[in-house]
Amino acid sequence: MSELPVIRLRPKSKPQAIRHGFPWVFADEVVLDRRTRGLPPGSFAMLEDAERRPLGLVTVNPLSKIVARMMDMDEGARIDGDWLRARIGRALAMRQRLYDAPFYRLVHAEADGLPGLVIDRFGDAAVIQPNAAWADGMAEEIAGALADITGVGTVILNGQGRARGLEGLGERMEVLRGQAPAGPVQVAMNGATYLADLMGGQKTGLFYDQRPNQAFAQRLAKGARVLDVFSHVGGFGLAALAAGAEHATCVDGSAAALELAAGGAQAMGVGARLAVMRSDAFGAMEELAGEGRRFDLVVCDPPAFAPSKPALEAGLRAYERVAKLAAPLVAPGGYLALCSCSHSADLSAFRNVSARGIGRGGRRGVLIHSGQAGPDHPTLPQLAETGYLKALFFRLDG
């Protein structure tokens, strides 16, 4: 402990939030003197309050607005292979209780005590996203600990995305252990078969967070005509087909994603019941409405329109427009599911703009279910950002 540098909160900063579990320290909360500014991104330090009382061991990045992230409140902790194996092992134990097959989010950053680190598991392969400087610098150690604890043979580092830019990190894509899969990996989930491209797909290749919401959608999908907008690799569409939907149409702007959706349907033996439509989602919904098309279940799962507070107002308008365009596509008595993965748009704001958009689309309805991410994406109560996903299911009348 004595070998570590010390960073200190400003006198007016309140340490209670840190003591009660808030994991971040912002740049305007600490004394950013020349010594602190000179600490290498990703290095470790002791955090003290203004009275020099220790608060815990943090990782420091002077290039980020989040200048420090809590690693361990034990001031004597040592961040090494044993520490990583303990944290990953704890995360694994919970997932093994939750899921019968090794397909899940294994590490969900701060909520699993590994700030800025995401790990998704795909059977014998795992994809890590080191979105904090410490995790990027210790990627090899993380891969080794991951292989030791889980036994996976392949570990892929996917260093892409907005979060890395905020940390001053560049893009990188590497295979750290084993060999890259020769093709897409099959993932069984909710009775459907998905194809995940671990090297070239979005994020880690598949979105596990919608698993419980896709399961709820399946309860509405038997015998239904389904429209899955912003479908990616067919998340809701394939789940609906697995539950006995009459037909599903997947709309996405990515030809590669739609090819994987079609491949998943073929693997399930339901290829004839899936149609894909490569198009801008807004344009596609307008086109379908112009053709008089109606569906028993419409699902819209767009990307984050409000990834930050400055983007919130524009993002909420975009969510409202999605609801306005989607509502007329729902058959009388049918169902509309609207999703948001924007942590800046809280549940109340998202629910309000969704209801307003449905009204502007000339429809009325009732909210029958609100969903969130699955338990492999645990929420840290002190950090709203970890509870980002919202899914609203409406029954529309008239």
Catalytic site positions:
341
**What b-and-e string marks burial along 81-109, b requiring 16 or more CB atoms within 10 Å of the CB?**
eebbbebbeebbeebeeebeebbbbbbbb
8 Å CB contact between 78 and 72? no
Strands 247-252, 330-340: parallel, antiparallel or unpaired by DSSP?
A: unpaired
Q: Which two tokens stand for residue 291?
A: 């053709």
Answer whether 236's CB lies under 8 Å from 212's CB: no
Helical segments of the chain, H only: 16-19, 34-37, 81-98, 133-137, 139-150, 162-166, 211-221, 235-242, 255-268, 281-290, 312-326, 347-360
Token pair 């579990």 is at which residue? 21
What is the rounded distance in angstroms from the CA atom of residue 8 to the CA atom of residue 58? 11
Residues 340 and 350 sit within 8 Å (Cβ to Cβ): yes
What is the C-alpha separation between 320 and 185, in angstroms, rounded?
35
Measured at the CA of 80, the angle between CA 137 and CA 377, to 5 degrees, comes to 75
In the block, tokens 């899914």 appear at 391
From 337, 73, 120, select the one nearest 230 (Cα to Cα). 337
Sheet holding 274-278, edge to edge: 274-278, 247-252, 225-229, 295-300, 330-340, 390-397, 364-371
